[in-house]
Every structure is written in structure tokens, then in C-alpha cells.
Chains A and B, each alone.
Chain A
Amino acid sequence: MKAVLWGTRGSLGSASAETVVYGGDTSSVELVTSRGTILVLDAGSGVRRLGAAVPADVKRVDLLLTHLHMDHIQGLGFFGPMYNPNIETHVWGPASTNATLRTRLSRYLSPPLFPVCVRDLPNVFFHDVMPGTFEIDDATITADFICHPDPTLGYRIEADGASIAYMPDHEPALGAELPYRPDPEWTSGYCIARGVDVLIHDAQYTEAEYLTHVGWGHSSMRQTTAFATLAEVGQLVSFHHDPSHSDSMLEEIAEKISTDENLRFKFFPGKEGVEFHVGRCC
């Protein structure tokens, strides 16, 4: 399975000379299995370039949304495959108590917020996802609600003998005593991340920033490493970087984590454009 990070920024796009290394586009990750199944994780602004890179002969693309906050859907209207009648685009996202996924996305994909309506898209199918497991071609997807304001899913994707967990917005430490010492049974997202080869996880804040953002739905770097340790993951990719964090600041944070001798997993910071492979590959 191949993974490409097309957008790693959180909350708001942040393109500037200070963010060229980690990137300014918001959440979007591409997974491609050895059989060519294309899974797109979130439709932040990074999904525009992702869509442009989808081969012309592809017949189907599956887009898995963790939740509907703007930084995870703002690229939706610029995702090329959705306008191509020869490509089936399946959009998967969290179920809610009072409206379908299609209805909720229509609030954005309709005037006055956007000139194109959902009904104008030629070959798009919507799937309201509840906690559980489902198959997309050769990939097995497990979804579960995780701790973040408004219904939010974490995804575990298994294919090619490997597993990747994706939780770009996640605050497992909410309400816990600090420093955060998680207990598996009472930790949001544990089942999604447990034992995965790669965990792509929210690491938006510094420890100091977290203290003034409790309940906003994000994690500090230390909380993320504690969560990854609990879940016994193989590798951790930090993700959803705060828009105010420059490359130099993120490099400094990454350096501290990378040199932690107690780390039980490999760590690499999520940088836009990075590609990696797990398990059998395409």
C-alpha cells in the first residue's frame, strides 16, 4: 500500500515562505493498494492536487471523510474526479442524528457558498458511516467515532498485509489528568490504532498551547506520542500542524521527539508531498 501526504496542515491553509517544507494545504492523504484501489482520506485543500494526479483510466475513487469541518472538506469542490462522469466517486463520512451526509455536504456545495450543487455532480455516491467494518475492493475499513467536536470518525485501513490508522483530528486526552497516561479501555481511538503499522495522528499543539485549547479537539505532540505508545503502533506520522507553526518550529518539535530514547516506535513528521509504502506495494 502506498501513501502520499497531499495536505498535512490543520484548521486553515497556511501557504507562505515559512511553511514550504511541511506544506500549507489542509488534510488530504492518498492510499493506493497493490490492486490499484484508490482511497482518499479527507478533502482538505490538498485534495485538489491529489485529484489532478488520479490517472485518467481510473474507474472509481473512494473518498473517506473523517468529519465535515471546513479544513477537511474545503477541497471537495475542486476534486477533479467528482466532475468526471467516467469515474464513480464514493464519498464516505460520519452519520449524524438528523441529516444524511449528502444533505450536510450540500450546505457547503450550494450557493451562496459554492456555485456547484451536489446534484450537478455526475457520478457521486454518498455513504453514511457508522462504527463498524466494511470493504472497499481489496481494502478493509474499520471506522469508529473518536473524540472531536461534532461527529468524527477515525479510520483503520487494512490492505496488502499492512494497516494504517488515520486520525487527523483527535483529542484522546480530553478530561484526563495531565500528564496524559492513557488506559486502553477508556481511550478514544484505541481500537482504531491498536497495533497498526502506521498511525497518522493529530499533533497540532505544543504542550503550552494545549493548555489554552482544551476541548478544541486536538492533541499536543506529547499526548500523541503517549497515545501511539499505548496503541503499540509501528510508526507515527505527526499531522494536522497548526497554521501558525513554521517549518523551523515544526523541525524543532520533531527533533525533540526523534531523539527521545524512550520512543517505542519510528517517528517521522508529516510533510506535504511525502510518500511511503507499507506491506505489499503497487
Chain B
Amino acid sequence: MAAQSASPRTLFDKIWDDHIVRTDEHGTALLYIDRQLVHEVTSPQAFEGLRLAGRKPRRPEANLAVPDHNVPTSDRHLGIVDPISRLQVETLEANCREFGIQLFAMGDPRQGIVHVIGPEQGLTQPGMTVVCGDSHTSTHGAFGALAFGVGTSEVEHVLATQCLLQRKPKSMLVSVEGALGRGITAKDIVLAIIGEIGTAGGTGHVIEYAGEAISALSMEGRMTVCNMSIEAGARAGLIGIDEKTVDYLRGRPQSPTGDGFEQAADYWRSLNSDPGAEYDRVVRIDAASIRPQVTWGTSPEMVVPIDSEVPDPDAVADPVKAGSYRHALTYMGLEPLTPIAEIGIDKVFIGSCTNGRIEDLRAAAEVAKGRHIAASIKLAMVVPGSGLVKEQAEAEGLDQVFIDAGFEWRDPGCSMCLAMNADRLEPGERCASTSNRNFEGRQGQGGRTHLVSPAMAAAAAVAGRFVDVREF
């Protein structure tokens, strides 16, 4: 009966179709990119490439740059002590000047982790294509934007042409159905999803997250879920647009203004997947079954609930997987069948593009309030995701809650998520971390990372070991 015979489309289909400049004889699309975020680590060679070829950015104003990976999180008045890190940040500053790209420099109150500041500034909007030379660009999909990480060659390609050559990925729906239990957060949802589908489960796909539990999340929580799509192998994660999305964007510095905002919002609201739209793969997860998650190994898929044990490789049938488990247990210094709640920790890191937003700090502060970190904890640090998150947290008194509880309150940046600056684990140190990767050496050579939610990290800091935040 429909007037149009067009078949129902997913949100991903709609954004993809809206951005095709042309399709070549091989089926490769020239895809238009609306916004690019730039940071100091993956951009110097791209700018150098432009210079060598005598090219200019096609739309400098479609880019925003910020240093985040290398910046110190303490004693900022001293500048960047490491000369190699300093040169990289100075190179970003010089490139932005030369090519006319807006930069939030280290002293700017808006400086922060690239994936925190994009949404915060209203730069990330529904229906856009957003890229960055960083795999956690998937974060921006929380706004119904098609956002994915690219390499440096593609950073250069976008600077020069505002386009990318792409094959259309497949689509996957992950529906988290029903309501979450008390004390369960967005981080637990996404870790549980990765545990279910595996770290390559989303390879070649764009994941759309849906279901009651996703709808019930705040925008911050949705960003946490989309952020770790890459840990499930998917380049991008997406969530449909609702009034929370629209309300979040109203009044942001780079959001449309006045009538333009309402015009944009009408378009945004049209961007959800149509009823009956088909996906290449569908995964359904019962929200009520999700418990607080803790990773035990060196891949994010090596994750179990807090009230269980480290697995036994001998019980794993697949020899490649059993081998990976043995490697991981050796590296992590863990014995099979150790209860997670008996694993003691040395350091705690609360922050990152996964969990460095205001809601994350509130959740951690609620647990830390009136308590103190255990005597065995060498360092517990809270690193806000941006200067504006830091200001907000200080206005709410969260900084004092953390300081009173024995945490260090730092300046914004990527920090110990990947330890490119001075914040790192020493060999053998074990960390409860709200970041996204537990790879070998990720937080410092020989360091042992366990990924958890902010509330679980704060509880672990107080107890000196992993504890179930629901009983805390």
C-alpha cells in the first residue's frame, strides 16, 4: 500500500546513502566526510603529506584539533617535559596555524580528549559522517552519526578531499532488551556484549545498538557503549536519535542556532531505522542478565562477571583460544579458577574517552564519598575527559570527594589509558582501569590491566581488590 516501493532502511543505510558522492565500477563509494577531529599523534605525517604534494585542506573549518595523548595531567605550568612529546604537540600547533585549523591548545579550558570534546562542543551531530585518526571515534555514534577511526593516510585524504574511498560495511543490530539491574552501567553492557560476540565479532560491520536498556541510557552512557564498538571489532557503533539526543545538543557552541536548530532537529528525528529494516546479523542480549564486568586477560573479550572466576584454559576446546588464554594468564600473573573478588590491585585509573565524562566521575565519587582508598593502593587517579568536565566536577565538589578519599585529581587527557605521557604502570603492577584496552603493555610495559566501570574502579580502590559494587 505504500506510495513508495523503497524498502525499509537502517539508520546506517540512511547516513551512508546521504553521503555518497559517487560509486565506482568496483562498488567502492566516494563518501563525503562532514567533520574530522585531529590529534597530535596520528596527524603530523598527514600534514607533511599535504605539504610535500603542495595540497591544502579542502574545508579547514570542518576540522577541529586538540592535543590529548601526550599531554601531562599534572604540573601543567611546567609544560611538556619529555622533548619528543613536546615536539609532537608543537608540531600540531604549527600545522594548525599553517593550514588554518581550529585548535584547542593545552592551556585552553576546552582542551580534552578528542572524543569527549567533540560531543561537548556540539560538533558531533546526528546524521553526520565523522572521522578521526583514532579508533575510538566510534564514540560519536551515540548521536546517530556514522563515526569511525582512520589511519594517517586517510586523515590526509580527508584533509585534502573531504572524502574517503570506502566499501559499505555490513550491518549488525545488538539489542539489549529489558531493564538493567541496580548498579549496572553502560560499561558493563558493552563489556558483556564484547564477551558475548568476541573481539572480532563486529569485524566488517557497523553495529547499531538498540533495545530498552540502550534507550534508557543517558547520552554519556551511550557514548561509553559506542566507544568500545572497536573492541568488538566494529569500526563504528550507532544509536538512533531520540529527544535525549536533541536535548543534549541544544545550546552547544557548535550546534545549529535559532530556527536552524529546529530545522536540523526535524531532520535528525527522521534518522532512525525504519520498522522492518534488515540487518546482516542480529544479537539479542537480556539486560537483566548483565552483572558488573571485570576483564581478567589481555583482550577485552576475556571478561567475566565479578562474582565468578578466572577461566581454566584446560577447559577450552579450541587450541588457538586455549593458547591465548595461557599466554594471557602468564602475562597477567593469574592462576586458573581464582575468584575475581580475590584479585588485589596496585593502581586505579578513572578516566579515558570511555569513562572520563561527568556522569562517570559522579558514579565514582558516589562510591568514594566518605571512604578512603586502601593502604595497599600505590596510586589512584581521576583524570577528567576535558577541561570543561573538570570545571563541572569541581563545581559539584567531586574533586574534593576524590581528594578526601585519597585519589589524585588531575588535568584532562588520555593519560594512563595508553601511557604515552608520564602516567603509567610499572612492570607487574595491577590496575583497575575504566579505559578500553587491556592489551599487554598498554598501560606501561609489563603492566596488568583489568577493565571495569567507574563505580567498580572506585570500589576496588577502597577495598584494595575487586568487589561487587552492588554489595558495597
Q: Do A and B come from one complex?
A: no
